Amino acid sequence: KNQVEQSPQSLIILEGKNCTLQCNYTVSPFSNLRWYKQDTGRGPVSLTIMTFSENTKSNGRYTATLDADTKQSSLHITASQLSDSASYICVVKKTSYDKVIFGPGTSLSVIP
Amino acid sequence: SAVISQKPSRDICQRGTSLTIQCQVDSQVTMMFWYRQQPGQSLTLIATANQGSEATYESGFVIDKFPISRPNLTFSTLTVSNMSPEDSSIYLCSVEQGSNYGYTFGSGTRLTVV
């Protein structure tokens, strides 16, 4: 049973448009949730990390939200650019001493 | 955050041979993690490498197939042994500097076994 699920599996948007990626998790207890961007053939790069008490966190054009009650997170990308084309991975950590659990990722393609 | 140098970035290997992947971190870290990412899949943890002790392997991964070295707090290697085409994947190393910080990943090694 997947403990971290992401939707959509893939997404194509026009350059300049906004989009929102979803992450639902069943992990409990919960320590923090992270969003990563992974360009093709490269290692993931951290975008945001949110703890239980944080509702929103921004990193440039990326804004992540977290609802710990419903166990949902979203990553909103504003004014998309061609360089945003990548896989976006939601990662959840149970406690400070646990390993992380990776979601399957959302593949985003931004087209001109 | 830490900076990780991983090499090689890619390689094409013959089946039955072995490949050793190296990761060098610019700061001392207690644990280093090795992941495999098969085509179109998310990351799967292979093992956790601790300095001064044997690596801890996840279910489905064994030391004979993926021997790991961790000679000091800034360096680790992962060897993919007796390779078959099913081992074709991206292999990544990673470190975490405190539970409130994200993981830092190496740039990955894209392995193709022919």
Q: What is the pLDDT of residue A107?
A: 96
Q: Rounded to whole angstroms, how far apart are CA atoms B107 and B8?
A: 10
Query: Which has more pLDDT, A60 or A29?
Result: A60
Selecting from B45, B94, B102 the residue whose C-beta is nearest the C-beta of A49 gives B102
Q: What is the pLDDT of residue A96?
A: 65
Q: Confirm or reject contact between B36 and chain A (CB < 8 A).
A: no
Q: Where are the beta strands (DSSP E) in B1-114?
A: 4-7, 10-13, 19-25, 31-37, 44-50, 56-57, 68-72, 75-80, 89-96, 103-105, 109-113
Chain B stretch 63-102, residues whose beta carbon is closer than 8 A to a beta carbon of chain A: 90, 92, 94, 99-102
Q: What is the three-class DSSP state of A14? A: strand
What band does B69 get if pLDDT is binned at 50, 70 and 90?
very high
Distance from CA of B107 to the nearest CA of A (A): 4
Q: What is the pLDDT of residue B70?
A: 94
Q: What is the pLDDT of residue B40?
A: 81
> Is the CB of A41 less than 8 angstroms away from the CB of B108?
yes
Q: Provide, as residue numbers in chain B, all residues whose Cβ is less than 8 Å from the Cβ of A91.
A: 102-103
- Amino acid code (one letter) for B47: A
Q: What is the pLDDT of residue B65?
A: 97
What band does B97 get if pLDDT is binned at 50, 70 and 90?
confident
Q: What is the mean pLDDT of residues A64-69?
A: 94
**Closest Cα in chain A to B99:** A96
Indicate which of B30, B99, B104, B112 best probes the interface with A, i.e. most A CBs within 10 Å of its own CB. Answer: B99
> Is the CB of A42 less than 8 angstroms away from the CB of B42?
no
pLDDT at B96 over 90: no
Q: What is the pLDDT of residue A1?
A: 58
Q: Rounded to whole angstroms, how far apart are CA atoms B96 and B31?
A: 8
Q: Rounded to whole angstroms, how far apart are CA atoms B37 and A38?
A: 12
Query: Which has more pLDDT, B39 or A14?
Result: A14
Q: What is the mean pLDDT of residues A58-76?
A: 95
Per-residue pLDDT of A73-106, as tens digits, reads 999 999 999 999 999 999 998 876 677 889 999 9
**Closest Cα in chain A to B101:** A49
Indicate which of A2, A30, A32, A38 best probes the interface with B, i.e. most B CBs within 10 Å of its own CB. Answer: A38
Pairing of β B109-113 and β B10-13: parallel
Per-residue pLDDT of A28-40, as tens digits, reads 888 889 999 999 8
Distance from CA of A16 to the nearest CA of B (A): 26
Distance from CA of A97 to the nearest CA of B (A): 8
